[in-house]
Amino acid sequence: MRGILTWFVPQELKFFEMLRKQSGNVLYGAEQFKEFMLNYSKLSNKQKKEFVEKLKDIENNGDYIAHSIIEALNRTFITPFDREDIHRLVFLLDDVIDFIDITCRRIYIYNLKEVSESMKHMTNIIYKCVVEVNEGIRDLRKLKNIKTHCIKINTLENEADYIHTQSLAELFNNNH
């Protein structure tokens, strides 16, 4: 019965691959950002600028992928899951790489002399979250382990909230 239904009303499964491509791009951006942050104090100004430019290229690629997915979504009658959910997921992934790009750019523009341990810790958390999102999108087609990925992301979010609170307290306690 499912075969007949698929023949009459085919679903466009290309969205899973397109979403994987987009999440892979975000993961690559998160990897580059992590490398930038963890090695920041050892990098020359030229190397810092190269990271900023590389992240801008990754962000531009993310925009291109997002536009391609939206165009395909607008041309597709039957989608593998709700089109509004696909649309929202596309733009949330795009927001992640946008914020990574903006953060990297601001650190460079403000010419920070060093990044704090809490900033490095937050970068690590961001990277781990992006890894979980990437794995979740990879598992999306079979709806495999989605809840597990969400729980891990929530745990990492709680850890980030704690680091953020501690960093703010440290900032005000040290009169920076």
Q: What is the DSSP string of 65-86?
A: HHHHHHHHHHH-SS-SS-HHHH
Cα distance between residue 118 and residue 94, in whole Å: 25
Whether the per-residue pLDDT at 140 is higher than 90: the answer is no
Q: Say what the pLDDT of residue 7 is.
A: 47
Task: Kindly state the average pLDDT of the residues 12-26.
Answer: 91
Whole-number CA gyration radius for the chain: 19
Lowest-pLDDT range, 34-48, 68-82, 147-161? Answer: 68-82
CA 175 to chain centre: 33
Q: Please, what's the b/e burial string for 83-115 (b: 16 or more CB within 10 A of its CB; e: otherwise)? A: eeebbebbeebbebbbebbebbbebbeeeeeeb
Query: pLDDT averaged over the chain?
Result: 91
Cα distance between residue 18 and residue 13, in whole Å: 9
Q: Which amino acid is at 33?
A: F
Provide the H-helix boundaries in the chain.
2-8, 14-38, 45-75, 83-109, 117-138, 146-173
Whether the per-residue pLDDT at 6 is higher than 80: the answer is no
> How many Cα atoms within 13 Å fall on the side-chain side of residue 168?
5
- Using a pLDDT cut of 70, give the percent of the chain over it: 92
Q: Say what the pLDDT of residue 49 is.
A: 98
113 DSSP 8-state letter: S
